[in-house]
Amino acid sequence: MKNSKRLLVICLCVVLVLSFALSACRQNEENGGGSTTDPNDTGKKTSTDIMEISTFISRAGTTPTADNRIYKKIQEELGVKFNFEFVVGEIQQRVGIMISGGDYPDLIGVQSNEAMQFIDAGAFIPLEDYINDAENYPNLNRHYGPLINRITHVDGHAYIMPNFGVHYGTFYQNETWGPAFWIQRAVLKEFGYPEIKTLDQFFDLVQDYMRKYPQIDGQDTVGFVILTDEGRDWPLRNAPAQLAGYPNDGSVIVDKVGSAYNARLFQHLDISKRYFKKINEMYHAGVVDPESFVMNYDQYISKLSSGRVLGLFDQRWNFNNANLSLYEQEKFDRMYTPIPVVFDESITDWYLTRSELNVNSGFAISENAKDPDKIMKIIDALLDEEWQKLLQWGEQGVDFLVDENGMYYRTQEMRDNYNSNEWRLRNQARDLLEFLPKMEGTFSSGNATSPGIQPSEYFEGLTDSERELLSAYGVQTQGQLFTTPPENPIYFPAWSINIPHGSAEQIANQRLKDIAFEHLPQMIRASTSEFEQRWARYVELNEAIDIAAIEAHYNKEIQRRVDDWGPSR
């Protein structure tokens, strides 16, 4: 009897403890949900109407410092605080987890395929009503109103506010952030800035330099590296298209047939064979770095930062950290300059394209956002010229000065600050700006919207070695090293075409990528006599995949864009 009583007591205890634990959990949940909208609890003095916006940035990054000047200003004047979450590790994994849990932050900054995943999952709210509301959201309306067709998703709603490609006034294309063959300035300088047009000339020059300087800073000179990282497939796969005179359309090349477009995958076509045959030769000549095929992205960047790599094919934004690092080390001659290399002189280069609207990139509002109207109000406010000036240039008198003609300029110290990663964390809202809708071109005052594209500022800000290089080639800007780009095709760019998740085409596309990443490195390293045979085998493997289905998908989407986006931009 006594025993069973004790049993009862124990039982009750367990129940009690459990219920405490559970109720604590629930309370936590309520508090957690409440604290973002009602920051009163935090007890800050000025926090009564500060709204915290949880913001996801779909790439790696560093949290800005707590006393960041610009974020502080935004907080003071607009009453919002952005709490950033960056990707650590695999973006797809993070996005997958976020979607399966339905656990979205308020604001989501996407930059490529993950956009589709979110949209498919219904994670974003439609934004067209905001964009069309000229009264309450004047800046957004001005910015996206004319482009509403382009940013509308196939289901008829606009979800993403593209962060690049909306132009105001004059748009100067001073430098390229896209694909190119990049070469160290020192190489060009050494041989008196020769005219480099073809792939053969490019490699000849690299080889000459290697012969002359087998070592740089006490380490072996590396002629050419290729990043073979599956997640960043362009340095390995895309060069043939640009060499053949096609603009960057990702893994396809697009021909105009009559009035229609025809997209083809090219990783198994003859243009690719021509390129990889050359790379194969160069591998055996000791120009192509064998480490290319075992390096990961971080090792690649650190190798480039060492200043002993002479050439590479990549998109500038992908290796810019190496460039910045060389700048900080004051190895200006070791920094890279783009060359629009083609297969032979009859081909016109089309590396440089007019800036395009990337419909998969930018901020979107998640369905979990507590107050989407307010968030959109803030984005609208930040699109105002004054805020744009603060975000892109900084504070007048601190980050830039104004001359008697009203033109903005900077001192060298300001420029150096601007280029310093560490300074940026304290004094710029870099990550926010990157993903926000922004003005590109010129402000109403005639100044360029950012220092990088202000012509005078651009030229003044160049290092001596680059200025020397540009004047040797008789141009003022890096952009002028390229052929002036023609008008973009309407559909452009095809790389922003998404292949739906879970479709057979997506799997086929991944198979193709796998084949390329497995066999191309092997082919490059194989002996030259074996090349033909291996190439034939590679083409066979490619053709076993349903390439036609993938191409059909591209063509369908291109046609849709042509129909929806109208005859001209």
Partner 1 sequence: MQESNLNTEVRSSMVVRKTNRKKMWDTIKNQKQLMFMSVPLLIYIFIFNYYPLYGWLMAFQNYRPRRDATMFNQEWVGLDNFKFLFTQHDFGRVLRNTIGMSVINLILSFVTAIVLALLLNEIKNLFVKKTIQTISYLPYFISWVIAATIVSQALSTDNGIINNMLVSLRIIDEPILWLAEGKYFWGIFGIANVWKQVGFNAIIYLGAMASIDPNLYEAAEIDGAGRMKKMLHITLPGIKSTFVVLLIMNVAHLLSTGGGAGGFEFQYLLGRGSNIAWSETIDVFTLRYGIRMGNFSLATAAGMFKTLVSISLVFLVNGLAKKLGENRLI
CB atoms within 10 A of CB 343: 19
**What is the nearest approach in angstroms of partner 1 to the Cβ of residue 145?**
28
Q: Which of 96, 126, 145, 452 binds partner 1 (CB under 8 A)?
A: 96
Under the binding rule (CB under 8 A), the answer on residue 75 touching partner 1 is no
420, 421, 422, 428: CA torsion to nearest 10 = 90
As a whole number of angstroms, the distance between CA 388 and CA 390 comes to: 5
**What is the nearest approach in angstroms of partner 1 to the Cβ of residue 264?**
23
**What is the nearest approach in angstroms of partner 1 to the Cβ of residue 58?**
14
Residues 6+ apart with CB under 8 A from 467: 459
Structure tokens, 285: 């000549």
Tokens 């991944």 appear where? 510
Task: Provide φ and ψ at 275, rounded to 5°.
Answer: -65, -50
Under the binding rule (CB under 8 A), the answer on residue 517 touching partner 1 is yes
Sort 407 into a burial class: Cβ within 10 Å, 0-12 / 13-18 / 19+: middle
**What is the nearest approach in angstroms of partner 1 to the Cβ of residue 89?**
9
> Which of 2-10, 31-39, 208-216, 399-407 is the region at the interface with partner 1 (rule: CB under 8 A)?
2-10
Q: Are 262 and 555 spatial neighbours (Cβ–Cβ below 8 Å)?
A: yes
**What is the nearest approach in angstroms of partner 1 to the Cβ of residue 481?**
31
Under the binding rule (CB under 8 A), the answer on residue 230 touching partner 1 is yes
Minimum CB distance to partner 1 smaller for 7 or for 536: 7
As a whole number of angstroms, the distance between CA 158 and CA 166 comes to: 16
**What is the nearest approach in angstroms of partner 1 to the Cβ of residue 101?**
9
Q: How many residues bind partner 1 (CB under 8 A)?
A: 41
Under the binding rule (CB under 8 A), the answer on residue 123 touching partner 1 is yes
As a whole number of angstroms, the distance between CA 387 and CA 390 comes to: 5
Q: Which of 120, 204, 328, 385 binds partner 1 (CB under 8 A)?
A: 120
Q: Which of 8, 10, 134, 472 binds partner 1 (CB under 8 A)?
A: 10
Under the binding rule (CB under 8 A), the answer on residue 291 touching partner 1 is yes
Under the binding rule (CB under 8 A), the answer on residue 224 touching partner 1 is no
DSSP 14-60: HHHHHHHHHHHHHHHHHHHHHHHH-GGGG--SGGGGPEEEEEEESS-
**What is the nearest approach in angstroms of partner 1 to the Cβ of residue 44?**
34
Under the binding rule (CB under 8 A), the answer on residue 73 touching partner 1 is no
Q: Are 82 and 340 spatial neighbours (Cβ–Cβ below 8 Å)?
A: no
By CB under 8 A, what part of segment 354-373 binds partner 1? 367
**What is the nearest approach in angstroms of partner 1 to the Cβ of residue 236?**
8
**H or E stretch at 223:** strand 222-225
**H or E stretch at 261:** strand 260-265
Under the binding rule (CB under 8 A), the answer on residue 290 touching partner 1 is yes
The tally of CA atoms less than 13 A away on the side-chain side of residue 353 is: 20
**What is the nearest approach in angstroms of partner 1 to the Cβ of residue 517?**
3
As a whole number of angstroms, the distance between CA 152 and CA 359 comes to: 9
By CB under 8 A, what part of segment 488-507 binds partner 1? 501-502, 506-507
Under the binding rule (CB under 8 A), the answer on residue 299 touching partner 1 is yes
Q: Which residues bind partner 1 (CB under 8 A)?
A: 3, 7, 10, 14, 90, 92-93, 96, 99-100, 102, 117, 120-123, 220, 228, 230, 289-291, 293-294, 296, 298-299, 367, 501-502, 506-507, 510, 514, 516-518, 520-522, 525
